[in-house]
């Protein structure tokens, strides 16, 4: 696989970081990934249930802008919100760890 200029620049910047800076970077990168997976989860559950953002918000006892923020990756849901999403879309919440 060919290395792009972006990858070369990114690798060079990462190599300049101290171990503490790299740890902070890795943590932020992982959190961003989690936020986007949660955004996709909300969108997929809502659309599979045939709901608009407004209808999902009503069923979850929240607001449409809150749903939009969750689906846009601008906000990470709480466990309570995940449970309400499951109930509102006819699912059950299951949390598991995987390797």
Domain ranges of the chain: 5-88
pLDDT in tens, 10-63: 889 999 999 999 999 888 888 888 888 899 999 999 999 999 999 999 999 999
pTM over 0.85: no
Return the CATH number of the domain spanning residue range 5-88.
1.10.260.40
- The Cα 34–Cα 18 span in angstroms is 24
Question: Rounded CA gap, 16 and 61, in Å?
Answer: 47
């Amino acid at each position: 696989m060919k290395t792009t200029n972006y990858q070369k620049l990114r690798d060079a910047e990462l190599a300049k970081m101290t171990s503490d800076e790299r740890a902070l970077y890795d943590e932020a990168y992982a959190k961003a990934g989690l936020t986007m997976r949660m955004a996709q989860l909300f969108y997929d559950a809502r659309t599979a249930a045939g709901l608009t953002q407004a209808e999902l918000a009503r069923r979850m006892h929240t607001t449409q802008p809150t749903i939009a923020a969750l689906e846009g990756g601008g906000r990470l849901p709480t466990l309570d919100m995940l449970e309400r999403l499951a109930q509102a879309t006819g699912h059950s919440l299951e949390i598991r760890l995987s390797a």
